[in-house]
Amino acid sequence: ASSNQRHVHPLPLRRRLGQLGLGPDAPSGVVANPTILPYLSQSHALCATESVLEVAAGDSFSVARGQDGAVYTFGSKMGGRLGHGEVPGGFWRSNPFKSFRKVERVPRRVRGVPAAREMFVGPWVTFIKTERGDVWGWGDGGSGVLANGREQVVAVPEPIQALTDLGVRKIAVGHSHAAAITYSGDLYTWGLNQHGELGQGNDIGGSPFFSRLFPVPVPYFQQLREHLGGGVRDVAAGWRFTVAAAGAGGEVFAFGSGLAGRLGTGAEQDAWGPEQVWEEEGVPMAAQRLYAGMAHTVAVQSEDAPGESSGGAGGGAEGEEDSVKDRNNLRTM
């Protein structure tokens, strides 16, 4: 989705579970074209915020952050992923709201959570970080993905003290695991270690399928900090795999499930610890930003030309030059 100062445009998707936030009267089925989301417009009474600054999509739900730090969620309420906290026929904290709805088709503000400066959304959980650096989270905490020491649903936002104490700069949420970079450049991982996605070997707790319920540092990057010329700069988490850019040059490392070549290491075997990614020319691959999907990775190698894509800008010599430059900025694995 994208946003300007007043409207959010959800991209084509089914609206069966309300994740588009178009309201109960919107036509059922597939919305095949971007459509303005009126409920997050400044002119609508529901949204007091001046503008929507950030949007993100999880599994059958969406999250929006306003300029004032308010967080709105909509879509499926399964697993507590919306953070509203109602149970059928029950009440929520000091703000009674009886609800039998299993979905929210209209964006609804998440209560009981401080103003958010940043948000990090995964398939079933959401983390927000405040101006003070405090981290809050909610959703389906199975496999310990919420880093709160438990493996259960958290239906109302709660502070995640372990992440607050670390001083995290960025959180990346995968399928059943997550990773975070601290301001000092250390990488921490937690959750399920089914294919090595935690980067901590295949004998955690005596079993390769052990879950870490609290963040644990990835020792590989601590040991190589001096050699790489710095700590971890960026991280992304996908479906049972993790990729990280580290050191002064942003050298790329990957670990976890290698199925379909998602690690970019030239093999499909699982990597139980970080493995360096190399370009075809035999030089270490470097990236400034990393993005992970279900079974692929995208690396942005240069952000000197913001707004450019991996395609050409047009015909003729000028378009050919732009196309070459863009390919150098964006790589996929």
- 5 pLDDT higher than 60: no
* Burial of residue 306 (number of CB atoms within 10 Å: 0-12, 13-18, 19+): exposed
- CA proximity to 216, closest of 190, 178, 250, 243: 190
CB atoms under 10 Å from CB of 103, counted, come to 19
Element (H, E) at 320: helix 316-329
- Among 154, 140, 314, 284, smallest CA distance to 224 is for 284
Looking at residue 332, its pLDDT comes to 65
Q: How many residues are there in the chain?
A: 333
pLDDT, one tens digit per residue, over 120-165 is 999 999 999 999 999 999 999 999 999 999 999 999 999 999 999 9
Q: What is the pLDDT of residues 31-54, one digit of tens each?
A: 767 777 777 765 555 555 568 889
From residue 284, give the alpha-carbon distance in Å to each of 60, 94, 271, 331. Answer: 37, 55, 18, 13
Residue pLDDT, tens place only, 241-296: 999 999 999 999 999 999 999 999 999 999 999 999 998 878 999 999 999 998 99
Kindly report the pTM of this predicted structure. 0.82
pLDDT of res. 281: 77
pLDDT of residue 41: 67
Mean pLDDT of the region 326-330:
43
Mean pLDDT across 51-69? 91
What are the pLDDT digits (tens) for 231-242?
999 999 999 999
Q: For residue 222, give the nearest of 190, 185, 252 by alpha carbon.
A: 185
Identity of residue 268: E
The better pLDDT of the pair 101, 65 is held by 65
The whole-number average pLDDT for the span 15-33 is 67
Here the tokens at position 20 are 């588009």
